[in-house]
Copies of this chain bind each other. A is one copy, B any other.
Amino acid sequence: MSENKKAEDLETRIINAAKELFIENGFAETSMSDIAIKVGINRPGVHYYFRTKDKMFQAVFGSTIKSLLPKIQDIMLQREIPIGDRIGKVIDTYYEIFKTNPNLPIFIMKEMHRDFNYFSKAITDMDAIHYFDMIKNELQDEMDKGFLKTVPIRFLFLTFYSLLIMPFSIKNICQNIFLEENETFDEMLAKWKPYIVTHVCNLLTDGNQS
């Protein structure tokens, strides 16, 4: 089975290289040659495992979307924790993901805009709707019971993800224009975090963030 193992290794090596290149440069700007060079083999070798560039991208994109759905429902369902703290923990979780890969948000938006079908397939293939429904139902229930202010869930999500994603999406502007003297991007992100918490809590509470 050592041959099989070796082949598997090469397959995952190709996937990882493709993922890296696709996320950094996008579908159109990444060629099969680029992937082959990065892995250290030649073009036909790449075509062997995923016959077309399209199929390869589909595989990569799906697993990328999946990695963007961390287990934040475990955090959001802890009703005993103040909502502000829960939001903060969710932000930490996403920060962790994006700090190792700041290009992820703009990549997703780019490819969603290029062809929405990849995204549609990805979120239906996994149970992404059920996933968000869990969080939605929890919040709705807390609203119904008066623990949280009533606000349209879609605008809650839009507020949260807008504020979370934007610094990464315009990272270049942040680094070239918004940074203070001797400040790193990560330091700026840390200072930005409480603003996200505050904005979301303003929607959900009457100022006490509990």
B172–A112 touching, CB < 8 Å: yes
Which B residues touch A119, using CB under 8 A? 172-173
B-contact bits for A156-192, CB 8 A (1 contact / 0 none): 0111011101110111111010100000000000011
Contact of A112 among B103, B152, B170, B195 (CB under 8 A): B170
Residue tally, chain A, CB below 8 Å to B = 41
Interface residues in A90-134 by Cβ distance below 8 A to B read 103, 106, 109-110, 112-114, 116, 119-120
Measured between C-beta atoms, what is the minimum distance from A203 to chain B in Å?
A: 8
Report the Cα distance A112→B162, complex, angstroms.
18
B173 touches A166 (CB 8 A): no
Q: Is the CB of A109 within 8 A of B106?
A: yes
Given contacts A28-B26, A176-B120, contact A109 B169 (CB under 8 A): yes
A159, B28: Cβ atoms closer than 8 Å: no
- Report if A199 contacts B (CB, 8 A): yes
Min CB gap A44→B, angstroms: 24
Smallest CB separation, A140 vs chain B (Å):
15
Shortest 6 CB-CB distances between A and B: which pairs? A162-B166, A28-B28, A116-B172, A154-B178, A162-B162, A28-B29
